[in-house]
Amino acid sequence: MLFDSHAHLDDKRFADDRRAVIDRAAEAGLVGIINAGACMESSARSVALAAEHDIIFAAVGIHPHDARDAKDEDYEQLAAWHSLPKVVAVGEIGLDYYYDLSPRAVQQQVFIRQLDVARQLNKPVIIHDRDAHGDILAIVKKEAKGLTGVFHCFSGSWEMAKEVIKLGFYVSFAGPVTFAKDGKLKEVAANIPLERLLVETDCPYLTPQPFRGRRNEPAYVTFTAAEVARVRGLEPAALAEAATANTKRLFGLGC
């Protein structure tokens, strides 16, 4: 009974078989999927998917790649979407210094403004952090007081994970934890408190072993969860139960 805490089922790569993908997720035992927005258009698609499918919940937000296109009225729309019962978080938001598709100062400004939206709504946030560990921790410490959320597809060190937990946030693991060479990530997965751990696919990206190189989909979260269970010395069912309870608690979905 797993929960994919981060997916992008609105992506065009699912255009031809989206319903079949969602059906396979249910058949694999998933009880829920959080579909995360990355821009205003994909956030609208995420809201529509949540309305159409019982298993899907929506997050809405502006990804750092698209921060350069953010407008003042977008923040009002992000807030307005939260009047809908299946919109559960602001995300995904954050910083991406790997691709730098938006100027870093703009990324930071848009990130901070969306943290403010979440604070006003008392909603959790889904944070994207790529090659920006120092700046993102500094902003969260200063601007996210009183908020909770998740660092999705965590890529930092065990030392960073401890800081994230101290700030009241969760850590989510995606396909890379299954890769043989990612010992740093396996260390974090092995040591993080069980009550602060989520699993995800980030599909269609970051496909876990043994399907690496193919399009990812929510059903494959079972492989990520199994690897996290292995490095922790847990039965997969116990890991699934804990991660699902954590996801429901974070996003206000009940347990």
Q: Would you state the pLDDT for residue 215?
A: 98
Q: Establish if 91 belongs to a structural domain.
A: yes
Mean pLDDT, rounded, for 191-210:
98
CATH of the domain at 224: 3.20.20.140
Question: How does pLDDT run across 1-23, given as a tens digit for each residue?
Answer: 899 999 999 999 999 999 999 99
Q: Which residues contribute to the annotated binding site for a divalent metal cation?
A: 6, 8, 92, 128, 152, 202
Task: Write out the residue range of the structural domain in which residue 127 sits.
Answer: 2-250
- Which structure tokens are listed for 240? 């699934």
Question: How does pLDDT run across 145-159, given as a tens digit for each residue?
Answer: 999 999 999 999 999
Q: Establish if 255 belongs to a structural domain.
A: no
Q: Establish if 215 belongs to a structural domain.
A: yes
Burial of 15 (0-12, 13-18, 19+ CB in 10 A): exposed
Question: How does pLDDT run across 31-67, given as a tens digit for each residue?
Answer: 999 999 999 999 999 999 999 999 999 999 999 999 9
- How far is CA 111 from each of CA 6, 44, 125, rounded to the nearest angstrom? 18, 19, 10
Q: Would you state the pLDDT for residue 182?
A: 82
- How far is CA 100 from each of CA 103, 130, 132, 203, rounded to the nearest angstrom? 6, 10, 10, 21
Structural domains in the chain (count): 1
Q: Would you state the pLDDT for residue 217?
A: 98
Residue 254: pLDDT over 90:
no
Alpha-carbon distance 143 to 137, whole Å? Answer: 10
Percent of the chain exceeding pLDDT 90 equals 98
Q: Give the mean pLDDT of the chain.
A: 97
Q: Which residues contribute to the annotated binding site?
A: 6, 8, 92, 128, 152, 202
Question: How does pLDDT run across 58-70, given as a tens digit for each residue?
Answer: 999 999 999 999 9
Q: Would you state the pLDDT for residue 98?
A: 97
Residue 255: pLDDT over 90:
no
- How far is CA 134 from each of CA 16, 61, 111, 154, 208, rounded to the nearest angstrom? 40, 22, 14, 14, 27
Q: Would you state the pLDDT for residue 101?
A: 98
Question: How does pLDDT run across 92-107, given as a tens digit for each residue?
Answer: 999 999 999 999 999 9
Contact 198, 173 (CB under 8 A): yes
Alpha-carbon distance 178 to 250, whole Å? Answer: 24
